[in-house]
Amino acid sequence: MLVGAMTMVCLTGCASLVGSVTDDRLALLRSSGLDADAATQSQERLDRILRSDGPAGEMQDRFGSLPAVENPGLGELMGAALGSNPAIGRAAQGINRAEAERLNAIFGYLPQVSASFQRDQLDQEVVETDNQVFQAGTASYPVDTDRIQINQPILDLSRIFGIRIANSARSLAEVEYVKSVKDVTAEVFDQYVIAIQSRQRADYLQERLDLVDEQVGGIERRIGVGEGQIVDLASMRSERGSLAAEIAFERTRYQDAVTTLSALSGRAIVGGLQGELPTSVRYESATDLERSLALGLEENPAIMAAAFEVVMGNMETWQSVFDDFAPVLSVYASLDREDREDSRFGGGSVTDDQVVGLRLSIPIFNASGRGYSSLTRRVDERVAALNYFATRREVETGIRGTYDRMNALTEAIAAANLAVTGAESALEREQDRVSIGQGVNYSVLSRQVRRNVARERLGFYQAEYLRAWGELQYLTGRSMNEVID
């Protein structure tokens, strides 16, 4: 009773200590952050770890630096991402972990050997006994006990399924690695296209702004001689302000994409990006939808990973059933040596005990004391199946939507090409009129603006088509580093 009361008092005191953080302490943390000494100690330990030959130190050069690279192209960025992207690195370590867990699962079915060495100081005193032999039972002496024990499972279905699950987990880790590679390279491609698209559009907008400045100058000169309209000047200045805002926005969008590319590739990009939009892709309608659907449902790594999780979920259900209900047969052997320097009867002893046995454990009811894990595993298996079907549906709808987007963009590109051709033809005719004295430079500037708008729209649609095309490659299971030369 006394021990129980003391235990309750101790637990109550511990609970009060846990909940005793004050508002002043929280305010100090918000204003000053972590204690300076604690932060310094943590940083010193981190530095020692990173300088060591351990796992963290080995990855320091590959993942812990951000080397500069000037004017990289798409291929260079993809190659850098494959070598130093943290997500790909984590996926590779996931394979190592799966290999280790598989080895541990195999160890679970191998002999279990252990040794123990124990030394006790034994003080004995017989207080009361009816046995005359024990009446002299007072002694104080050390006891050394050495034990070697071996246990070998013979039939343990739960451990057998654990090995199978570990094999599937290794395959899942490999699929996750492939998925990570495809995720990263697809993101690099998309951000590269966004960056080039923004840079190209900003250049077109800057060209248009220069043309508007010429128009503003022309209107101001005409107003000076009494021919221009103030309302035309205000309209041009308003358009100039809108163009300047759009240029600033596209510069920001470009820089955001470059920053993302730096994070993905592990390279500090200096001087901007090299090259233009990829030219190996043809801007044509997507026609073979059924083939893409079949390819995506078979090769998409997200679907493959979800399928492995369904298989593993089923095996984990069976493992839990065997763990809950299946008998376990094992053999064991032990060798104990006990060295007593004295005894209650006077004189010590050294004994060797050898035991060899066969053990059959049969779960009958709530053998683990935690209920039945198979009940929750069946639910997990259903969830894995739902995730699999959801992933298939997501990939299929993504492919269908990307096809529709590519076809719509194909029409937009065709119309934009016609607009560019028409704008260039109109500009040439207007320039010819000016050369023979039938036109004015103001009209030429207007035609140049229209041509600029048509070219800017064409470039924008082409970039959007490339993004949709890249999304289709990803959904159908292709890696962009293999698709783009």
Alpha helices in 225-338 (DSSP H): 230-265, 289-299, 301-325
- pLDDT score for 447: 87
- pLDDT score for 222: 66
- pLDDT score for 445: 82
Q: How far apart are CA 270 and CA 273, in angstroms?
A: 8
Give 345's contacts (C-beta < 8 A, 6+ positions apart): 133, 136
Mind listing the pLDDT tens digit for each residue in 137-157? 677 889 999 999 999 999 999
- Given a cut of 70, the residues of the chain with pLDDT beneath it are 1-19, 49, 53-54, 56-61, 131-137, 218-233, 345-346, 437-441, 485
Mind listing the pLDDT tens digit for each residue in 83-105? 889 999 999 999 999 999 999 99
Q: How far apart are CA 437 and CA 268, in angstroms?
A: 55
Q: How far apart are CA 288 and CA 402, in angstroms?
A: 12
For the four alpha carbons of 210, 215, 220 and 224, in that order, the dihedral sign comes to: positive
Using a 10 angstrom Cβ sphere, with 0-12 exposed, 13-18 middle and 19 or more buried, the burial of residue 353 is: exposed
- pLDDT score for 407: 94
Give the SS3 label for residue 94. helix
Give 189's contacts (C-beta < 8 A, 6+ positions apart): 74, 78, 470, 480, 484
pTM score:
0.83
> Residue length, the chain?
485
Is the distance from CB of 154 to CB of 109 less than 8 angstroms? no
- pLDDT score for 392: 95
For the four alpha carbons of 6, 11, 15 and 20, in that order, the dihedral sign comes to: positive
Look up residue 457 and give its two tokens. 């729209």
Q: How far apart are CA 292 and CA 478, in angstroms?
A: 11
Report how far apart the first and last C-alpha atoms of the chain are (Å, whole number).
80
